[in-house]
Structure formats: C-alpha cells, structure tokens
Amino acid sequence: MDQTAPQVPPPASAAECDAALPDILAAPKDGAVIEELCFRPDYGERDFRDELELTVAQGILGERWTEKPWLTLPEGSPDPRIQVSILPKRVMELCWRDRANTPHPGDTMIVDMDLGHENLPVGTRLQAGSAVLEVSDKFNNGCIKWRDRYGQDSLRWINRKENRAHRLRGVLCKIVQDGTVRRGDRLTKL
C-alpha cells in the first residue's frame, strides 16, 4: 500500500506571476460571463449559489457584510464600498492551486474580464443581472489570508507598485440598484 502523501502544488512563484501577466491583461474588456457566485455567511465560510439577491441597504442578502464587515465607516456602520468583490478568473486560476485543501478566495463573483483601473475607472457602473454595481475607490490589496493561502510571491505581485492599476486582486464595488444576479449572467459596463 502506497503511504505517500498527496502532492500539494506549490504556490505561484514570482516568475510564474510575472509570466502570466500578459495573458491576464488580455482578458475581455466587457460582457464577461459571471462564472461563479460565492455567498459568505461568516468568516471562512463559502456557499456557491446559482443566484444572489443584492441590495443597496443590506448588501448581499444574508451575507456577513451587515454584521461583520472588514471595513466600517467612522460611525461604525458597514462601508458600502466593499459590498461586492469581483476577482479575475485568470488570477484565481494562477494562484488557487491546492483546491482540495485551500479555501476559495471568497470573492462574490469570478469573471474572465479586465478589472484594471484603465478599463473600469472608479465610479464605473456595472450591470450584474438586474442589479447595478459601482466600482469603488477602495483598493483590494489582498491580506494575510491571501499570503497564507496562495503564497507571499503572489501577494507581493498583486501589490507591486507597477501592478496596482491592474487590480489583480480584483475590484470592490458598492451596490447602487437592488437586483438579482445569477450564475451565467454577464457583467457589463453601463
């Protein structure tokens, strides 16, 4: 009987991240299919759904944003700029290698789309199903969880000065029109 432990893929190296950048930047500019919808009921919890209800007042209905946001306004209420996070599929595929043992990044939507500042300046409105989102000025720089799960090299790469405008860790949005988003809907610029 083979007692060999399963091979765990190593995190993406700095060289692999740099080599992948041209392909990541070549992603479509608009109309990307929303390939995954992730609902986060609590820290570290992931529930993949076929649809989500998005509301201006409560964010994603039932998600932890109203009770346990990682960013709050000065008076303590949840900051609406972080209601929805969208991650480029190509970055996820590069960095999330050990899918059996490492949690999904937890972003609300996964799309194959250029989420960089040039393509989606702050304030850009996006149609997601019947909901409308607005690109936030809050930069998603990843965090210690990203480093621990996907490696220090990819976190440094995301936050490298020359890469910040590409928003490689994805884009954060606030909800500006209530609606339903379904897996398979397209994310389109308005």
Q: Counting every residue, how long is the chain?
A: 190
User: Which pLDDT value is given to residue 67?
Assistant: 87
For residue 133, what are the β-bridge partners? 126, 175
Mean pLDDT of 64-88: 93
**Distance from C-alpha of 80 to C-alpha of 88, rounded to nearest angstrom:** 21
pLDDT band of 5, cuts 50, 70, 90: low
Beta-carbon neighbour count of residue 151 at 10 Å? 20
Average pLDDT over every residue of 5-20: 90
Residue with tokens 């060999």: 4
Cβ neighbours around 68 below 10 Å, total: 11
Residue 90 tokens read as 């190509």
Is the per-residue pLDDT at 66 higher than 70? yes
- At 49, give phi and psi (nearest 5°): -125, 160
Cα–Cα dist 115/123, whole Å: 13
pLDDT digits (tens, 9 = 90+) for 144-185: 889 999 999 999 999 999 999 999 999 999 999 999 999 999
Q: Beta strands 109-111 and 84-88: pairing type?
A: parallel
How confident is the model at residue 6, as a pLDDT?
67
Q: What is the pLDDT of residue 168?
A: 97
Flag whether the pTM goes above 0.85: yes
Residues above pLDDT 70, as percent of the chain: 97
With cut-offs at 50, 70 and 90, classify the pLDDT of residue 3: low
| pLDDT above 60 (res 1) | no
Structure confidence by residue, pLDDT tens digits, 94-121: 999 998 889 999 999 999 999 999 999 9
